[in-house]
Amino acid sequence: MNRRQFLSSAGIFLAGKSLHALAPRPFVPAPGAAKADHTLRIEPCTLEIGPGVSVKTIAYNGQVPGPLLRLREGVPVTIDVTNASDNADIVHWHGLAIDSYNDGAMEEGSPMIPAEHTQRYSFTPRPAGTRWYHTHAGANDNLAMGTYTGQFGFLLVEGKEQPAHYDQEIYLAIHHWEPSFVPMVETMRMESSNNPLTTGSDVGYKYATINAHMLGAGEPIRVKHGQRVLFRLLNASATENVVLALPGHTFKVMAMDGNPVPNPKPVEVLSLAVAERIDAVVEMNSPGVWVLGSTLEKVRQMGLGIVVEYAGRKGAPVWKDPAASEWDYTQFANPVVAAKPDETFTLTFRDIGPQHGSKFDTWTINNQSWPDIEPLIVQKGKRYRLVFRNGSGDQHPLHLHRHTFEVTKIGEKQISGLRKDVINVMPLDSVEVDFVADNPGDTLWHCHQQLHMDYGFMQLIKYAG
């Protein structure tokens, strides 16, 4: 080793050491290390989402959604992520029960990937089901960051059992583009609180897409009469919940957030809050050319839809409004009371308006906001109930990292068997979920609405001892 080599390796060592004292260090694959099973590159790209409509964003491998990662349950995997963007970033493997370091949330101690660096994630994927991956970087008022970008993709963990019989499998990821600040809709707020009106902004969008194409701009979904098509749907929007229908057809809901539901049921309308997934089978028994899209005309005009075309059928795609219906999670669950928890945490959330001159409202959980919030403490092996009480006029898609929960109560209705990792809590409603503390390590739960998680709506769960 010559002097220069010695100095540079010593320098790396020292820099590494001091960095380590501050924050966890990304695991950098050594030169000559075995090639990773998968590679992702965080890079700027321009997407043509419609005729003459281009959006600039950041995405994985220059495509939206990112590459479909098909992993095997219980088989260890390595994924190298190179950050070719200008900002530090991080990838979260949403819905997997893995360790905190690889989970991809800074709050749990996972490292950020500095710009121009590569980080190797290694974990053993479980449980089986439709999972996904996305950036876990904060955005705050920079709407070109975080989940406002195209950084998301499907991650399928394949188990031994095939959940449903089907002839064709279609992955559909929903996203909204060109965000901007708009005044907050105040109507809900007025009914919901006695506080004087808040003045924070909200985020609105110009375009919406399914698989990065506006309605009518991409290839149609081509089907044949009599086919059974399995749709794997993901709402990868930063902030918008969506409601979808396919006129003339019903969706038989087989799995939610990747987990088989106890009571698969056909419905006309699907509701997907931010970060939710639904696997649904559609029997193609209504030949024609149809629009699968948002039930709101305004949102379809923004682009949220895709054409479904039967073989041999031509013509303009047809839309018909479905009969009005309310989304009801409980219809897919067992109408039976769930097991009793060992302990219960009651968590009430509120909107306390913009703080410290911010554009956006701050959110509180039991009157505390991230980062100034005490963690919940759990003991390994025990079953915990989280009672979510929404004291606000907004919907909140709440997500628990590293664990699957069982939904045990929606409003007044007690249920069991519905296993999810995101649950949408309606304005002023309450929902209860149970989880077993079976995966030690810091665990984040938060509202998946980017504006809410960036402004206080996060809390850690820590294992005692």
With CB cut-offs between 5 and 8 Å by kind, which of Cu ion, ligand C2O, none does residue 447 bind? Cu ion
Query: Cβ closer to ligand C2O: 257 or 309?
Result: 257
With CB cut-offs between 5 and 8 Å by kind, which of ligand C2O, Cu ion, none does residue 94 bind? ligand C2O
Query: Cβ closer to Cu ion: 26 or 397?
Result: 397
Query: Cβ closer to Cu ion: 214 or 398?
Result: 398
In angstroms, what is the minimal distance from the CB of 398 to ligand C2O? 10
In angstroms, what is the minimal distance from the CB of 275 to ligand C2O? 5
Q: With contact defined as beta carbons under 8 Å apart, do 135 and 90 qualify?
A: yes
Residues in the chain: 465
With CB cut-offs between 5 and 8 Å by kind, which of ligand C2O, Cu ion, none does residue 396 bind? Cu ion
With CB cut-offs between 5 and 8 Å by kind, which of Cu ion, ligand C2O, none does residue 92 bind? ligand C2O
Return the structure tokens found at 309: 């075309």
With CB cut-offs between 5 and 8 Å by kind, which of Cu ion, ligand C2O, none does residue 399 bind? ligand C2O
Q: Give the CA distances from residue 314 to residues 168, 307, 390, in Å, rounded to whole numbers and listed in that order.
A: 21, 11, 47
In angstroms, what is the minimal distance from the CB of 94 to ligand C2O? 4
In angstroms, what is the minimal distance from the CB of 34 to ligand C2O? 29
Query: Cβ closer to ligand C2O: 245 or 278?
Result: 278
Question: In this chain, which stretch among 24-32, 125-133, 154-162, 391-399 interacts with Cu ion, using CB under 5 A?
Answer: 391-399
With CB cut-offs between 5 and 8 Å by kind, which of ligand C2O, Cu ion, none does residue 105 bind? ligand C2O
- Which residues contact ligand C2O (rule: CB under 6 A)? 92, 94, 105, 134, 136, 275, 399, 401, 444, 446, 448
In angstroms, what is the minimal distance from the CB of 227 to ligand C2O? 32
Please tell me whether residue 244 binds Cu ion under the rule CB under 5 A. Answer: no
Q: With contact defined as beta carbons under 8 Å apart, do 439 and 403 qualify?
A: yes
Bridge partners of residue 150, in order along the sequence: 59
Please tell me whether residue 396 binds Cu ion under the rule CB under 5 A. Answer: yes
Please tell me whether residue 419 binds Cu ion under the rule CB under 5 A. Answer: no
Query: Cβ closer to ligand C2O: 136 or 350?
Result: 136
- Residue in the shown chain whose Cβ atom is closest to ligand C2O: 94
In angstroms, what is the minimal distance from the CB of 400 to ligand C2O? 9
Judged by CB under 5 A, the number of residues near Cu ion is: 4
Question: In this chain, which stretch among 40-48, 207-215, 375-383, 389-397 interacts with Cu ion, using CB under 5 A?
Answer: 389-397
Query: Cβ closer to ligand C2O: 184 or 274?
Result: 274
SS (H, E, C) the chain: CCHHHHHHHHHHHHHHHHHHHHCCCCCCCCCCCCCCCEEEEEEEEEEEEECCEEEEEEEECCECCCCCEEEECCCCEEEEEEECCCCCECEEEECCCCCHHHHCCHHHCCCCECCCCEEEEEECCCCCEEEEEEECCCCCCCCCCHHHCECEEEEEEECCCCCCCCCEEEEEEEEEECCEEEECCCHHHHHHCCCCCCCCEEEECCEEEECCECCCCCCCEEECCCCEEEEEEEECCCCCCEEEECCCCCEEEEEECCEEEEEEEEECEEEECCCCEEEEEEECCCCCEEEEEECCHHHHHHCCEEEEEECCCCCCCECCCCCCCCCCHHHHCECCCCCCCCEEEEEEEEEEEECCCCCCEEEEECCEECCECCCEEECCCCEEEEEEEECCCCCEEEEECCCCEEEEEECCEEEEEEEECEEEECCCCEEEEEEECCCCCCEEEEECCHHHHHCCCEEEEEECC
Residues between 436 and 455 with contacts to Cu ion, criterion CB under 5 A: 447, 449, 452
With CB cut-offs between 5 and 8 Å by kind, which of Cu ion, ligand C2O, none does residue 401 bind? ligand C2O
In angstroms, what is the minimal distance from the CB of 448 to ligand C2O? 6
In angstroms, what is the minimal distance from the CB of 249 to ligand C2O? 29
With CB cut-offs between 5 and 8 Å by kind, which of ligand C2O, Cu ion, none does residue 189 bind? none
In angstroms, what is the minimal distance from the CB of 455 to ligand C2O? 15
Distance CA 395, CA 448 (A): 11
Q: Which residues bind Cu ion (CB under 5 A)?
A: 396, 447, 449, 452
